[in-house]
Amino acid sequence: MAYDLVIRGGRVVDGSGLPSYVADVGVKDGKVVEVGKLKDGAAKSIDASGLAVSPGFIDHHTHLDAQMLWDPYGTCEPQHGVTSVVMGNCGLSLAPVKQGIEDAIVKSFVRVEAIPRIALEQGVKWNWHSYGEYLDNLEGKVGINVGGLVGHIAVRHHAMGEEAVERTATGTEVQKMKGLVLDAMEGGALGMSTNRNDRHMREDGKPVSSRLADDDEFFALCDVLGERNAGVIETILGRNKVEHFEWYHQLAKRTQRPILWQSLQHRWSEPNLWREQLEAVEPIFKAGYQAYGLTHTVPLVRHFTLKDCQIFDEFPTWKNLMFLPVEVRKQAFADADTRTKLQYEIDNLRLTNYHKRWDIPKVEKCFKPENQKFVGKTIAEMAAMRNQKPIDAFLDLALDENLETIFWNANNGGDWNAMGEILRSPYVLIGTSDAGAHVLFGADFGYGTILLGLWVRERQVMSLEQAIHKLTFHPASIFGLQGRGLLRPGYAADITIFDPKTVHAEEPVWANDFPANTKRMVQKSVGVHYTIVNGRVIHEQGRMTGDLPGQVIRGPLYRQHKAAA
């Protein structure tokens, strides 16, 4: 057989952003060897007619550091077409470690990333010290490709012990940390991450250790990467401020490494901040440096009724009404003076998260036949249809249906035009799935399938080719993942086969698949037919095959170090 696998007749979206085309894809020894009209036989053949064939998606912002130790697939990554992940973001990694600091790392993961302590205690065996040894633990045991950043928090605890959460470092300690970062990079880390978010605390209420670092310390650690021309620098500074960009510029100029910053999103409460951020980052790129803003594809949507919603809790009268018995509440909603007061609060209270606009919330579901004509309309549109003020239309419709009417609202990500500009920006890196974290509160494994379903198919904010580029070769290039992210001969056969007409993510649901049967949220996909890692199928028509073809992806200093040795 000329090939181990041939994928026949699919539309190849190769990750470059170039127009897609129909072709067969031949795979041999874990790599793509030919793309075109292939006549030779193969051990396995997949009919992909009518489907898209693309490089596997690269989820570069995960916290799967622990989960990969007990779950070789980082479930539910493959279900959403992800073939490679990067761990160690936001300053958090499980290495380097030495006896006595394990719990400091656990305390940080438990609080910052909301991973249940019992799962970490049972699932993490700590049979490593260096970052390279941690990666060694994953060799041969994973179903997807994994790489990672070394986290500033672990580095600081290793050098300073518990004093890492109390004070700045001495010059000697900074030198120790530089040695640890270099060792991690030579062991295979893809870069380094830090965390300065003033809301990020440990389980005991103390700040995570990286928050105690001053610029001298952090820049000195980043010099390790800059001086060796390797790795990315991932940062989280907390509340987004335009003033941060001077710092990103300084860091990018000093190290000439790609800087990743969090985050850039559209929020109705700060509707222009995303544009100000893009304008602020442009000079950094124009000066010849890289500072990519991370963004998400999942709108923060709430479906609500006036029976029990919380979204108006910032407004005192609205809040009080929502705690009244339903019959009393209905009488209040019908009262003209009360309505005037409710509208007054929306118009006049400052600094709220709620967007205060009637052209955003929509009627999602009506129960009476005569109200079906309002479904899908914004409150403002419905009010125009009814020749009413928006607040009257909103409350009258809800009262007409005994407060059962379901409304839709998005405080984040709900402006399609803004989201289009953000997602298309060359300065933006798509994906903050946080996979492996916040497991009791959500699951955003589907950031890629949502990009393809919501933003490409439904909202048409970018082409399929652009979107696939953003999910594959774009992160592969920034993170330096050699030989991945394109569907071209010589590249790793990490391949996703999906149906562009149906691809999407389902709503998260509960599972009990963490250590000690700890519950967490998982997320299934629609329309992802096959996920292939290094030429071997791991996910086929909704079922996992059990194969473990994943590789540990190590950075360039590892290769140089090995070669020198």
Which residues here bind other proteins, judged by CB under 8 A? 111, 114, 198-199, 201-205, 239, 307-308, 310, 313-314, 317, 319-326, 328-329, 332, 335, 337-338, 341, 353, 438, 440-441
Q: How far apart are CB 355 and other proteins at their closest, in Å? A: 15
Q: How far apart are CB 90 and other proteins at their closest, in Å? A: 14
Indicate the residue among 53 and 321 with the shorter CB distance to other proteins: 321
Q: How far apart are CB 86 and other proteins at their closest, in Å? A: 24
Q: What are phi and psi of 11, to 5 degrees?
A: -90, 110
Closest CA relative to residue 422, chosen from 279, 252, 269: 279
419: its two tokens: 């989201």
Q: How far apart are CB 198 and other proteins at their closest, in Å? A: 6
Whether a cis peptide bond, with omega within 30° of 0, leads into 500 is no
Indicate the residue among 332 and 346 with the shorter CB distance to other proteins: 332
Length of the chain: 565
Q: Identify how many contiguous H helices and E strands the chain contains and give both numbers.
A: 19, 25
Q: How far apart are CB 517 and other proteins at their closest, in Å? A: 18
Is residue 509 exposed (0-12), middle (13-18) or buried (19+ Cβ within 10 Å)? exposed
Q: Distance (Å, rounded) from C-alpha 446 to C-alpha 281? A: 27
How many C-beta atoms surround the C-beta of residue 372 within 10 A? 12
Indicate the residue among 320 and 372 with the shorter CB distance to other proteins: 320
Query: Which residue type does 306 have?
Result: L
Q: How far apart are CB 348 and other proteins at their closest, in Å? A: 16
Question: For 525-553, what is the HEC assignment?
Answer: EECEEEEEECCEEEEECCEECCCCCCCEC
Q: What is the largest CA-CA distance in the chain?
A: 81
Q: How far apart are CB 411 and other proteins at their closest, in Å? A: 11
Q: How far apart are CB 231 and other proteins at their closest, in Å? A: 30
Q: How far apart are CB 190 and other proteins at their closest, in Å? A: 28
Indicate the residue among 253 and 302 with the shorter CB distance to other proteins: 302
Indicate the residue among 205 and 546 with the shorter CB distance to other proteins: 205
Q: What are phi and psi of 82, to 5 degrees?
A: -85, 130
Indicate the residue among 228 and 438 with the shorter CB distance to other proteins: 438
Indicate the residue among 43 and 326 with the shorter CB distance to other proteins: 326
Using an 8 Å Cβ cutoff, are 322 and 345 in contact? Answer: no
Q: How far apart are CB 295 and other proteins at their closest, in Å? A: 21
Using an 8 Å Cβ cutoff, are 116 and 512 in contact? Answer: no
Q: How far apart are the first and last CA of the chain?
A: 38
Indicate the residue among 445 and 558 with the shorter CB distance to other proteins: 445
Q: How far apart are CB 51 and other proteins at their closest, in Å? A: 37
Q: How far apart are CB 413 and other proteins at their closest, in Å? A: 18
Query: Which residue type does 155 have?
Result: V
Q: Distance (Å, rounded) from C-alpha 468 to C-alpha 15? A: 6
Indicate the residue among 270 and 314 with the shorter CB distance to other proteins: 314
Q: Show the DSSP H helices in 444-487 as ranges.
A: 447-450, 464-471, 473-479
Q: How far apart are CB 324 and other proteins at their closest, in Å? A: 5
**b or e along 468-504 (b: 16 or more beta carbons within 10 Å of the residue's beta carbon)?**
bbbbbbbbbebbbbeebbbbbeebbbbbbbbbbeebb
Indicate the residue among 329 and 539 with the shorter CB distance to other proteins: 329
Q: Distance (Å, rounded) from C-alpha 431 to C-alpha 548? A: 25
Indicate the residue among 375 and 511 with the shorter CB distance to other proteins: 511
Which residues touch 94 (CB under 8 Å, ≥6 apart)?
65, 66, 105, 124, 126, 128, 134, 154
Using an 8 Å Cβ cutoff, are 523 and 532 in contact? Answer: no
Q: How far apart are CB 292 and other proteins at their closest, in Å? A: 26
Which residues touch 484 (CB under 8 Å, ≥6 apart)?
55, 58, 84, 145, 476, 491, 492, 494, 553
Is residue 288 exposed (0-12), middle (13-18) or buried (19+ Cβ within 10 Å)? exposed
Indicate the residue among 206 and 504 with the shorter CB distance to other proteins: 206
Which residues touch 9 (CB under 8 Å, ≥6 apart)?
22, 24, 47, 48, 49
Indicate the residue among 117 and 253 with the shorter CB distance to other proteins: 117
Indicate the residue among 13 and 236 with the shorter CB distance to other proteins: 236
